[in-house]
Amino acid sequence: MSLSNGRPYLAIPGPSVMPEAVLRAMHRAAPNIYEGELIDMTAGLVPDLARVARTDGHVAIYISNGHGAWEAALANVLSAGDRALVAATGRFAHGWSEMAQALGITTQVLDFGKHSPVDPERLESALRADKAHEIKAVMVTHVDTSTSIRNDIAATRAAMDAALHPALLMVDCIASLACDRFEMDAWGVDVMVAASQKGLMVPPGLGFVFFNDKAVSVRATKTYVSRYWDWVPRANPGYFYQYFGGTAPTHHLYGLRVALDMIHEEGIQAVWARHDHLARAIWAACEVWGQDGPLALNVTDPAHRSRAVTSLRIGAPHGSELRKWVEEKAGVTLGIGLGMAEPEDPEWHGFFRIGHMGHLNAHMVLGMLGAIEAGLTALDIAHGPGGLQAASRVISTA
Ligand SMILES: *Cc1c(COP(=O)(O)O)cnc(C)c1O
């Protein structure tokens, strides 16, 4: 029988669970887009977004998903014929690199594989080798959502500084913003991209590009920039429509207002600490299950793991079977493996991911882990005993 009737739980790495308060704020009649409340509210979103990103810099808002934010960031600081260095630790870095190539940018990919973070020394020597400073940007994912590797962005900046290289540091925080600690200004990030549907708890549909004055000066040297992606009018609008290059994403903005209020009320440090504690509970369960059987965390060293998403391997076909079981029997949807095997490969069914970003708390994590443990038992997949108990012990130390 199925025990899934009740509130479903989407535990995939984005879109994430949307708070009722966000949904309620969006459930309203179409507002006036020429004057009144919406106009005043939008101006207030900008400083509150910057606060989440820990920057005194600028922000441009796009009606787009994360891919749109990727393209927007590239379009403002790079041109066809420019070179960029991509430090890759998973599928998303390669995706951003491919998008740059489609814009005529030549990318040099330093691939660190699927299990370890960016090695700052390798990055430094690649930059030192670029004596003519042809590389205009270093592109890196803070958290790569396919592998769940979390890169050390301060160390990335230190490697660039050690090489005395003037390239811009561009960081993808789509998975990590408001989940994993991120300090845009303190870590020397020039351009950062994010989207609404992960740590920010709003439906997919808003992309964000944050940028500092160094990026502003690079943008100023460009003759042609796609009118739609140009961040200049969006970050300095003379008229309200310029924030969005057209009609405002009215309802998303109301949802975002509430989500930012929730984040600031909890406090960004507390938001990071909650994600950290809940992530450690998830890892504790997975480590115990993995003591006897095929389940294993993709990233061995906790220091390099994301607090927003966890990638696991369990051997084919157990990954797909487990996802199916917990969804059909328990109402929990887990994430598919991404970038670990090609979809046509039978091995593809040997991976899954847990999303733990945004609006989640201890009882959701314990319920999700309990559903996984029941699924492992029901499907007769070997696993060490006591995973849920180990998670509960971590939660008990809150
Ligand atoms: C989700 C995600 C993306 C892509 O975002 P879309 O909204 O699906 O376009 C890019 N990078 C990272 C790190 C992500 O987690």
Q: With a 6 A CB cut-off, is 14 part of the ligand 1 pocket?
A: yes
Rounded CA separation 276/330 (Å)? 25
For residue 313, say whether it is annotated as part of any ligand binding site: no
Structural domain count, the chain: 2
User: Is residue 175 in contact with ligand 1, taking CB distance under 6 Å?
Assistant: yes
pLDDT at 128: 98
Q: Which of 10, 170, 174, 196 is the pocket-test mutation for ligand 1 (most atoms within 8 Å of CB)?
A: 174
Residues 220 and 133 in one domain: yes
Ligand 1 atom nearest 68 alpha carbon: 9
172 lines ligand 1 (CB under 6 A): yes
- Pocket of ligand 1 contains residue 137 by CB under 6 Å: no
One domain for residues 216 and 346: no
What is the residue range of 278's domain?
9-16+267-396
Element (H, E) at 107: strand 106-111
Which residue puts its alpha carbon closest to atom 2 of ligand 1? 174
| Contacting residues for 29 by C-beta, under 8 A, at least 6 apart | none
The CATH number of the domain holding residue 220 is 3.40.640.10
pLDDT score for 362? 98
Which residue carries 């090609």 as its tokens?
342
Residue 51 inside a domain? The answer is yes
Q: How confident is the prediction along the chain (398 residues), in pLDDT tens digits per residue?
A: 999 999 999 999 999 999 999 999 999 999 999 999 999 999 999 999 999 999 999 999 999 999 999 999 999 999 999 999 999 999 999 999 999 999 999 999 999 999 999 999 999 999 999 999 999 999 999 999 999 999 999 999 999 999 999 999 999 999 999 999 999 999 999 999 999 999 999 999 999 999 999 999 999 999 999 999 999 999 999 999 999 999 999 999 999 999 999 999 999 999 999 999 999 999 999 999 999 999 999 999 999 999 999 999 999 999 999 999 999 999 999 999 999 999 999 999 999 999 999 999 999 999 999 999 999 999 999 999 999 999 999 999 99
CB atoms within 10 A of CB 116: 15
DSSP 8-state assignment for residue 347:
G
Q: Ligand 1 centroid vs 86 CA: distance in angstroms?
A: 16
Q: Do 202 and 258 have their domain in common?
A: yes
Strands 135-141 and 168-172: parallel
pLDDT at position 366: 98
Domain boundary pick from 239, 264, 289: 264
Alpha carbon distance 365, 372 (integer Å): 11
Residue identifier of the C-alpha nearest atom 3 of ligand 1? 66
CATH number at residue 289: 3.90.1150.10
**4: in domain:** no
Q: With respect to residue 95, please indicate whether it lies within any of the assigned structural domains.
A: yes
Residue 182 placed within a domain: yes
Same domain, 223 and 324: no
Q: How far, CA to CA in Å, does 266 sit from each of 19, 54, 273, 300, 316?
A: 14, 15, 11, 31, 41
**Do 246 and 258 lie in a common domain?**
yes
- pLDDT number for residue 147: 98
Alpha helices by DSSP H, listed for the chain, are: 20-26, 37-53, 66-77, 91-102, 120-129, 153-162, 213-220, 231-235, 250-266, 268-289, 318-330, 362-378, 387-396
Atom of ligand 1 nearest to the CA of 67: 9
In a domain, 326, yes or no: yes
**pLDDT (0 to 100) of residue 219:** 98
Last residue within a domain, chosen from 264, 294, 319 = 264
* Ligand 1 within 6 A of CB of 91: no
Regarding the beta carbon of 339 and ligand 1, being less than 6 Å apart is answered no
Q: What is the pLDDT, as a whole number, of residue 249?
A: 98
- Per-residue model confidence (pLDDT) at position 371: 98
Ligand 1 atom at minimal distance to the Cα of residue 143: 13
Q: Do 44 and 184 lie in a common domain? A: yes
Q: CA quadruple 68, 69, 75, 80: dihedral positive or negative?
A: negative
pLDDT of residue 263: 98
- Other C-beta atoms within 10 Å of 35: how many? 9
Ligand 1 pocket member 141 (CB < 6 A):
yes
Q: How far is residue 92's CA from residue 155's CA, in Å, rounded to a whole number?
A: 20
Say if 3 falls within a structural domain. no
**71 and 187 together in one domain:** yes
pLDDT of amino acid 278: 98
Q: Is the CB of 195 under 6 A from ligand 1?
A: yes
**Same domain for 314 and 392:** yes
Distance from residue 325's CA to the centre of ligand 1 (Å) = 26
The answer to whether the Cα torsion of 231, 234, 237, 239 is positive or negative is positive
Q: What is the pLDDT of residue 156?
A: 98
Are 231 and 310 found together in one domain?
no
Give the span between the Cα atoms of 93 and 86, in whole angstroms. Answer: 7
> Which of ligand 1's atoms lies nearest the C-alpha of 14?
1
Residue 24 domain-assigned (yes or no): no
Query: Among 232, 264, 296, which residue terminates a domain?
Result: 264
Give, for ligand 1, the residue of 96, 140, 145 to mutate: max count of ligand atoms closer than 8 Å to Cβ: 145
pLDDT on residue 127: 98
Q: Are residues 276 and 335 in the same domain?
A: yes
For position 164, what pLDDT does the model report?
98
pLDDT of residue 338: 95
Identify whether 26 is part of a domain: no
Are 96 and 70 part of one and the same domain? yes
Instruction: Looking at the structure, tell me whether residues 38 and 147 fall in a common domain.
Output: yes
Is 196 near ligand 1, meaning CB less than 6 Å away? no
**How wide is the angle at C-alpha 216 spanned by C-alphas 215 and 220, nearest 5°?**
115
Q: CB-based contacts of 38: which residues, under 8 Å, 6+ apart? A: 31, 32, 248, 250, 253
CA of 66 to the centre of ligand 1 (A): 5
